[in-house]
Structure 1
Amino acid sequence: MSRFTGPRLKVMRALGVDLPGLSRKSIEQRPTPPGQHGAKAVRRKKSDFGIKLMEKQKLRFNYGLSERQLRRLMVDARRGKAPTGETLLQLLERRLDNVVFRAGFAPTIAAARQLVSHRHLQLNGKVVSIPSIRLRVGDEISLKPASAQIPIVNETLKDMPLIRPEWLSWDDTQRVARISHLPAAEDVPFPVDVQQVVEYYANRL
């Protein structure tokens, strides 16, 4: 498990993009990189390596992964027959902590990870505590009955940071989310050039 405890808005400003899984805040009011020379830094052209690194960091920070975790996912993505980049994004979206976040149970992926780790969530009716579990089509997630009134959950369900993706079906009465089909690359809720990420790891695995 990877836990980032630094300034989240500063990270998003450095990467130049809002990362909904990292923070509910937005860089709209301060879009330039952090630091006294931030405005000038925008005009500097990034190297090919810098571009690849930035795209990789978007995934790492949004999904709250360590470098080792992301490398393992890339290895798994390369084993499939589908394009590596699309498979990588699908694997990231299928993580339990991300699905809990996208379903609206938590305001960020970090908060979702904490809910899972503290055993507040059920997967197919059984309590789970591993945020990295990969969900499959037909899997259902719900709150444990004893955890139904957690304030942060109820507040987030009333004011969700993102619209639920089309690949998630939602039962409002039972408050159950179900994987109706596998997510696609375009379902990632922020802009990322995943081919740059694939190329970043091409000579590092």
Structure 2
Amino acid sequence: MARTTGPRLKIMRALGVELPGLSRKSIENRPNPPGQHGQQASRRRRSDFAVKLVEKQKIRFNYGVSEKQMRRLMLEARKGTEPTGEKLMSLLERRLDNVVFRAGFAPTGVAARQLVTHGHVLLNGRAANIPSIRLRVGDEVVVKENSRKIPMVVESLKAPALDRPEWLSVDTTAASVKLGHLPSIADVPFPIDVQQVVEYYANRV
């Protein structure tokens, strides 16, 4: 698991996008990159490499994955007949921590990872504390009964950070979620040009 240290809003400003998995804060009032020359930097044209790097970093920070994990995911996404970019995003969306977040059990992906690693959820009735576990169609995640009283969980269930996606079937009363079908790239909750990410790793893995 990749830990994000430092101000999360600063990261989003540098990337020029709001990442719901990283923070609930908005960059609307401060859209320019951080630093003394941020406003000038926002007007400067990015190189092709910089564009690819930014798209890759969006994924890394939103889903909380390390560079090593990204390389492994890219290798896996290349297998089969499905377009690499679409498969990559499906693999990321189906991570256990992301499903906990998208189901509305935690306010951010960062908080969802903490919920998972601290042993507050069950996967198919069994304890699961590894955020990167990948769910399959039909898998069910439940927040433990005692853990449903955690203030963060209570508030998130009342007012989820994002609309719950239709590929997840959520029971807020039981604090459970079931994977109905595989997510598509259209279900990603932030703007991403995934082809740039595929090209970034073309000669790196």
User: What TM-score results when the alignment is normalised by the length of structure 2?
Assistant: 0.98
| Local SS of the residue matching 1:73 | helix
Aligned match of 1:18: 18
Aligned match of 2:38: 38
CA shift for structure 1 position 173:
2.7
| Partner deviation per Cα, 1:100-158 (whole Å, 9 max, x = no partner) | 00001111111111111111001111111111000011111111122121111001111
Q: Flag structure 1 segments of 5+ consecutive residues without an equivalent.
A: none
Aligned match of 1:69: 69
- Once the two structures are superposed, the pairs formed by residues 167-178 of structure 1 within 5 Å of their partners are 167-178=167-178
| Local SS of the residue matching 2:169 | strand
Aligned match of 2:143: 143
Cα distance in 2 between the residues matched to 1:64 and 1:80: 25
| Local SS of the residue matching 1:42 | helix
Aligned match of 1:152: 152
Aligned match of 2:191: 191
Contact (CA 8 Å) 2:77, 2:84: kept in 1 or not? yes
Cα distance in 2 between the residues matched to 1:166 and 1:80: 25
Aligned match of 2:85: 85
Cα distance in 2 between the residues matched to 1:96 and 1:103: 11
Cα distance in 2 between the residues matched to 1:71 and 1:137: 24
| Local SS of the residue matching 2:78 | helix
Count the aligned residue pairs. Answer: 205
Find runs of 4+ consecutive structure 1 residues off by over 2 angstroms.
none
| Partner deviation per Cα, 1:20-41 (whole Å, 9 max, x = no partner) | 0000001011111111111111
Equivalent position amino acid for 2:98 in 1: N
Cα distance in 1 between the residues matched to 2:172 and 2:92: 25
| Local SS of the residue matching 1:148 | helix
Compute the RMSD of aligned alpha carbons. Answer: 0.8
Q: Flag structure 2 segments of 5+ consecutive residues without an equivalent.
A: none
- Once the two structures are superposed, the pairs formed by residues 91-170 of structure 1 within 5 Å of their partners are 91-170=91-170
Cα distance in 1 between the residues matched to 2:154 and 2:127: 19
CA shift for structure 1 position 172:
2.7
User: What TM-score results when the alignment is normalised by the length of structure 1?
Assistant: 0.98
Equivalent position amino acid for 2:152 in 1: I
| Local SS of the residue matching 2:178 | strand
| Local SS of the residue matching 2:89 | helix
Aligned match of 1:50: 50
Cα distance in 2 between the residues matched to 1:26 and 1:181: 31
Cα distance in 2 between the residues matched to 1:188 and 1:177: 18
